[in-house]
Amino acid sequence: MDISNTRILIVGGGSGMGLALARHCLAAGASVVIAGRSEDRLRRASEELGNPAALETIAADITEETEVAALFERIGRLDHIVSTAADIEGAYQLLPALDLKAAQRVVESKFYGPLLLAKHGAPRLAAVGSITFTSGIAAYRPAARGSVVAAVNAALEGLVRALAVELAPIRVNVVSPGWVDTSIWAYVAGDKKAETLGKMAERLPVGRVGQPEDIADAIGFLMRNGFTTGTTLHVEGGHRLV
């Protein structure tokens, strides 16, 4: 399936994997809408992408149902929906120090947000369209301080299987990235980001950590492949093996 001349919503497209995906889709000839909470980040993303005519940015908080409904009212017809959004700030803590509100933000941004995108976005999608979410390696290789993120990633993959049945023939999938060099590591590892990623690169069979473009390429596959649904696509450099 060709994604040229399609209309694609990317939630969380202001940075990292979402921004790389926006660049990928624009280069393929698609019309792209980037949504996120920060207008400044959306403006910077548009500038980084060259402010193309095929790009629109909309400020919206996907944890608020009224804003999600308004987002789709504004966008109208769509072919594909993708969410890479996640608010994990403060969530990587050992249980004695875990702040419940930080944990709730992870659930709201990474589980309830995608659920609302499916609820209000599916009626706007073409029958051959798709929805793609983003989980992560923590569901398979959990670590201390990461219990909340691990649980939400696993729950999101279960949600995708159920939505693939309920929303058929719309395809619903999830990409599970491994360790990817994005700004999210500022929250996870702080000033030890380079050292932490370097040690993981030495462990992985592929000899490196991921780049945002690796994940963008995987999401692009799920949008294009009309015979894949209810699937978790692992893009983690062999992390589950080591």
Write down the catalytic residue from 15, 109, 135, 147: 135
Question: What pLDDT score does 184 carry?
Answer: 78
Q: Which of 44, 126, 112 is nearest to 83 (CA)?
A: 112
pTM of the model: 0.95
Per-residue model confidence as pLDDT tens digits over 9-23: 999 999 999 999 999
Question: What pLDDT score does 192 carry?
Answer: 87
Per-residue model confidence as pLDDT tens digits over 91-138: 989 999 999 999 999 999 999 999 999 999 999 999 999 999 999 999
Domain residue ranges of the chain, discontinuous segments joined by +: 7-241
Q: What Å distances lie between residue 130 and 21, 35, 65, 168, 170, CA to CA?
A: 15, 17, 21, 10, 5
How many other β-carbons are positioned within 10 Å of the β-carbon of residue 40? 10
Per-residue model confidence as pLDDT tens digits over 42-70: 999 999 999 999 999 999 999 999 999 99
Query: Kind and range of the H or E element at 103?
Result: helix 100-107
Does residue 70 contact residue 40 with C-beta atoms inside 8 Å? Answer: no
Question: What pLDDT score does 139 carry?
Answer: 97
Question: What pLDDT score does 62 carry?
Answer: 98
State the architecture of 7-241 in CATH terms.
Answer: 3-Layer(aba) Sandwich (3.40)
Q: Is 135 a catalytic residue?
A: yes
